[in-house]
């Protein structure tokens, strides 16, 4: 802060030329150094100007204002470019510390001051890039401000994405967001060319109302038909980082495998990796052998990422921002540069690698007897795929065919059977859902959507990893060190109540008044197992569950029926696991000298904020995968436009029903105006749409036949129209009419009105009829 003169005695000179009055530069330096604009009294006090000279000071300040050197209002005096204390900001990015970078909302002209938004994710949901916030500013330097959020403003996003469509002699923009039916005029920069089918990022130009809105194209992401276009669009929409900073790339070069000193040498143990055929980063290897006590000795080796990625390094800050790797059908956005994830930390066969190992001793029923976690040097003896291991398990292939020694895989199977016994006693949530995968050709073009169920080889690895994760959590709890827990809360009774009628339909009962346990849900799942309704019931149970997330407070994991649980087994692709590794390094270190690759004194509040952040990035990654798969599925479904296909109602909302098409390859929306003509009421608990007049009912699990009316690949949206199916209950207006009913599984009953060509009730108005929901 500028130092005011020591003395100011009365003087009759003009304030502009008064040598005892502070000069203009001194005044400006002082005013700019104040966190908030000072008023006349504050300035006078700072420069020790008495009341008898304040009139002169006022004239000086007024003269400076007339010459645009100062600006002022009732709150105080400031330099003309000083920002108001409270204003609206637009978040543009995040810095290396996780704080926001913002600019004045609605001001695209001139030089912007530097504004840092101090985020506290513990106070609530953090804003996203492009979102506007009302913030309180504090000036901390010339053209430098700190801002604290008062509230996040729910305003229309100015940034949007979409596909260019032909319109007459020009083009328009069709937004990629689902539900946006209209198109916008486009303004194209002079140095850019566009054509129909291009995916673009644009900025909405300010106008009033929605009619006549114009978007200025910012970036052309490439044509929608080109390989990788859908993934590029999703990454841009969700603001997912996919380019590494120069500093992090530089740090990732020249890394070397450490010596065996200070590590356990396990290079002679025949550890093997088991992953998908297309995997490139191998972050875990496993080994098992019979133990003298009649049980099993297990070793789960995990890449020692914490040795290479040190706290607060450029690599660490980049990994923290990303939170996790993002897996899309045709590309992977890794959390760490490929020189780490696919090279120095990848447990490739016949290469020495640094690892963190969990050694577990279990009895014949899978109960853990003892464990220890330590650093080691390992060497993978084979890179195996799930398909190979499954073939050995089923007896269609021998271990020799996989280039592993006799007994290695069979020992893994034996240990897994013991773990499976323990799993059955725990009774975790027994969901059985297929995973949708996009099948690509050699040129990167999608050719099909496949659905894959979990195999025994995948369950083996899953149970080994769960056992290691529990051991890691128990170790940190015993050491009284900070732990990033993976927690899953008990389901909300209101959500779970939606299963009551579903259970009744299956011949069971489900009461939310009891203390819910996974076995209550498993009872419903077991009744639907091996029936046509299995997938529908599994999805309904999944929707009733809470979301798993990361937290420093341990509330247990409901779905796994575990009291203590943490993520330890994938530090290459999850930042949570990296934090757990660092805490485990601290747990094994000498108390006198903390390691450089531990938590390094990270405070509990910092870890809690990181937990909130990485829970958000995980949700974003899941949304990115889902959105991209939906787009590929819609693109493949485009050839079926106009055809009638079979479907099952997967979920019901107040605006229509979502129909699973072709056994889950894609989902289509059947809006209210695509149902038989009626007024429809939405029963959320029963998950049903019910017509008031003609008695039509549509609920989860019903088999229907629908016509594909519209497919929009860029949004991933498929619209369908009812042709037949559903239930038409007895209704006063329907008495005396005949009904043809046909059963499709326990949950589905189909009725078609007679006497009409399209199956609609007599007297229905057709598509133009009035529909209403309440």
The answer on pLDDT for 116 being more than 50 is yes
Report the C-alpha gap between 462 and 467 in whole angstroms.
9
pLDDT confidence of residue 669 = 93
Average pLDDT across the chain, whole number: 84
Instruction: Compute how many other C-beta atoms are within 10 angstroms of the C-beta atom of residue 426.
Output: 12
Beta bridge partners of 486: 550
Q: What percent of the chain has pLDDT over 90?
A: 52
559 neighbors 518 (Cβ within 8 angstroms) = yes
- Taking residues 596-621, what's their average pLDDT? 91
| CA terminus-to-terminus distance, the chain | 63
Cα 387 to chain centroid distance, Å, stands at 29
pLDDT confidence of residue 596 = 79
pLDDT band, very low/low/confident/very high, at 102 (cuts 50, 70, 90) = confident
- Taking residues 324-344, what's their average pLDDT? 95
- Taking residues 488-515, what's their average pLDDT? 83
The answer on pLDDT for 745 being more than 60 is no
Residue 349 DSSP label:
B
- Bigger pLDDT: 408 vs 42: 408
The answer on pLDDT for 728 being more than 90 is no
The answer on pLDDT for 207 being more than 80 is no
Three-state DSSP class for 28? Answer: helix
pLDDT confidence of residue 30 = 78
pLDDT confidence of residue 18 = 60
Residue 292 burial class via C-beta count within 10 angstroms: exposed 0-12, middle 13-18, buried 19 and up: exposed
Report the C-alpha gap between 730 and 561 in whole angstroms.
45
Query: What region, left, alpha or beta, does residue 323 occupy, with left being phi > 0 and alpha being psi -120 to 50 degrees?
Result: left
- Taking residues 209-236, what's their average pLDDT? 85
Strand runs (DSSP E) across 598-674, as ranges?
644-653, 656-661, 666-671
Residue 169 burial class via C-beta count within 10 angstroms: exposed 0-12, middle 13-18, buried 19 and up: exposed
pLDDT confidence of residue 22 = 83
Spatial CA neighbour of 751 closest among 740, 737, 766, 762: 740
Cα 49 to chain centroid distance, Å, stands at 58
Report the C-alpha gap between 72 and 33 in whole angstroms.
16
pLDDT confidence of residue 757 = 32
- Taking residues 86-91, what's their average pLDDT? 82
Report the C-alpha gap between 652 and 671 in whole angstroms.
10
Spatial CA neighbour of 570 closest among 434, 468, 429: 468
Instruction: Match 């949570």 to its residue by tokens.
Output: 576
Report the C-alpha gap between 592 and 683 in whole angstroms.
63
pLDDT band, very low/low/confident/very high, at 592 (cuts 50, 70, 90) = low
The answer on pLDDT for 14 being more than 70 is no
The answer on pLDDT for 761 being more than 70 is no
Residue 326 backbone dihedrals phi, psi, to 5 degrees = -120, 125
pLDDT confidence of residue 199 = 94
Spatial CA neighbour of 485 closest among 577, 572, 620: 577
Q: Identify the helix (H) or strand (E) that includes residue 494.
A: helix 493-496
In DSSP notation, 733-748 reads GGTT--EEEEE-STT-
Beta bridge partners of 373: 358
Strands 666-671 and 696-699 turn out to be: unpaired
Instruction: Compute how many other C-beta atoms are within 10 angstroms of the C-beta atom of residue 594.
Output: 14
- Taking residues 213-223, what's their average pLDDT? 89
pLDDT band, very low/low/confident/very high, at 600 (cuts 50, 70, 90) = confident
- Bigger pLDDT: 353 vs 739: 353
248 neighbors 329 (Cβ within 8 angstroms) = no
Encode pLDDT of 529-559 as tens digits: 888 778 888 988 998 999 999 999 999 999 9
pLDDT confidence of residue 72 = 58
The mean-pLDDT minimum among 166-180, 599-613, 741-755 falls in 741-755
């Amino acid at each position: 802060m500028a130092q005011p003169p020591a003395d100011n005695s009365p003087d009759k000179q003009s304030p502009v030329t008064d040598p005892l009055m502070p000069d203009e530069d001194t005044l400006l330096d002082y005013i700019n150094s104040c966190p908030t604009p000072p008023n006349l009294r504050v300035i006078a006090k700072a420069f020790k100007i008495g009341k008898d000279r304040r009139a002169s000071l006022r004239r000086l300040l007024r003269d400076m204002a007339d010459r645009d050197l100062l600006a002022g209002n009732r709150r105080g005096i400031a330099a003309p470019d000083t920002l108001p204390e409270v204003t609206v900001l637009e978040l543009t990015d995040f810095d290396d510390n996780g704080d926001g970078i913002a600019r004045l909302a609605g001001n695209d002209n001139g030089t912007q001051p530097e504004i840092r938004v101090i985020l506290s994710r513990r106070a609530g949901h953090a804003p996203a890039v492009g979102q506007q916030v009302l913030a309180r500013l504090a000036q901390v330097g010339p053209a430098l401000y700190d801002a604290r959020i008062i509230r996040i403003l729910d305003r229309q996003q100015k940034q949007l994405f979409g596909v260019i469509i032909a319109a007459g002699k020009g083009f328009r923009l069709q937004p990629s967001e689902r539900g946006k039916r209209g198109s916008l005029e486009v303004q194209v920069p002079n140095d850019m060319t566009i054509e129909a089918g291009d995916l673009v990022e644009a900025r909405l130009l300010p106008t009033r109302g929605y009619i006549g809105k114009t978007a200025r194209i910012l970036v052309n992401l490439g044509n929608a038909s080109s390989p990788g276009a859908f993934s590029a669009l999703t990454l841009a929409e969700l603001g997912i980082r996919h380019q590494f900073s120069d500093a992090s790339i530089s740090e990732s070069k020249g890394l070397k495998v450490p010596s065996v000193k200070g590590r356990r040498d396990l290079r002679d143990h025949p550890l093997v990796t088991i992953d998908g055929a297309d995997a490139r980063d191998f972050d875990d290897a496993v080994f098992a052998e019979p133990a003298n006590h009649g049980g099993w000795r297990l070793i789960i080796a995990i890449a020692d990422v914490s040795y290479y990625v040190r706290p607060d390094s450029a690599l660490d800050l980049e990994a923290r921002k990303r939170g996790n790797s993002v897996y899309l059908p045709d590309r992977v956005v890794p959390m760490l540069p490929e020189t780490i994830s696919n090279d120095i930390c990848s447990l490739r066969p016949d290469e020495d690698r640094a690892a963190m190992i969990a050694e577990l001793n279990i009895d014949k029923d899978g109960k853990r007897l003892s464990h220890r976690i330590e650093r080691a040097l390992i060497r993978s003896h084979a890179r195996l795929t799930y398909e190979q291991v499954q073939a050995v398990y089923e007896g269609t292939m021998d271990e020799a065919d996989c280039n592993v020694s006799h007994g290695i895989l069979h020992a893994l199977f034996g240990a897994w059977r013991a773990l499976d016994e323990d799993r059955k006693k725990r009774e975790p949530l027994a969901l059985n859902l297929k995973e949708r995968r996009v099948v690509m050709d050699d040129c990167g073009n999608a050719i099909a959507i496949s659905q894959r169920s979990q195999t025994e080889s995948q369950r083996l690895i899953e149970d080994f990893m769960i056992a290691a994760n529990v051991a890691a959590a128990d170790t940190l709890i015993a050491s009284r060190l900070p732990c990033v827990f993976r927690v899953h809360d008990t389901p909300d009774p209101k959500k779970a109540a939606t299963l009551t009628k579903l259970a009744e339909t299956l011949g069971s009962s489900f009461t939310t008044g009891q203390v819910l346990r996974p076995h209550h849900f498993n009872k419903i799942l077991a009744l639907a197992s091996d029936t046509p309704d299995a997938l529908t019931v599994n999805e309904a149970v999944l929707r009733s569950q809470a979301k798993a997330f990361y937290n420093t407070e341990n509330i247990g994991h409901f779905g796994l029926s575990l009291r203590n649980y943490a993520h330890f087994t994938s530090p290459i692709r999850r930042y949570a696991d990296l934090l757990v590794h660092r805490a485990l390094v601290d747990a094994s270190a000498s108390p006198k000298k903390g390691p450089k690759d531990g938590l390094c004194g990270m405070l509990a509040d910092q870890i809690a904020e990181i937990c909130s952040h990485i829970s958000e990035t995980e949700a974003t990654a899941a949304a990115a995968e889902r959105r991209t798969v939906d787009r590929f599925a819609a693109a493949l479904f485009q050839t079926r436009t106009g055809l009638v296909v079979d479907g099952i109602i997967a979920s019901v909302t107040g605006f229509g029903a979502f129909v699973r098409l072709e056994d889950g390859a894609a989902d289509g929306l059947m809006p209210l105006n695509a149902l038989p003509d009626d007024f429809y009421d939405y029963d959320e608990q029963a998950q049903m749409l019910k017509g008031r007049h003609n008695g039509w009912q549509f609920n989860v699990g019903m088999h229907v036949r629908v016509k594909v009316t519209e497919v929009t690949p860029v949004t991933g949206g498929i619209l369908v129209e009812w042709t037949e199916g559903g239930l038409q209950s007895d209704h006063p207006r329907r008495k005396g009419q005949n009904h043809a009913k046909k059963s499709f599984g326990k949950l589905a009953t189909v009725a078609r009105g007679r006497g009409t060509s399209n199956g609609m009730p007599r007297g229905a108005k057709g598509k133009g009829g009035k529909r209403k929901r309440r």
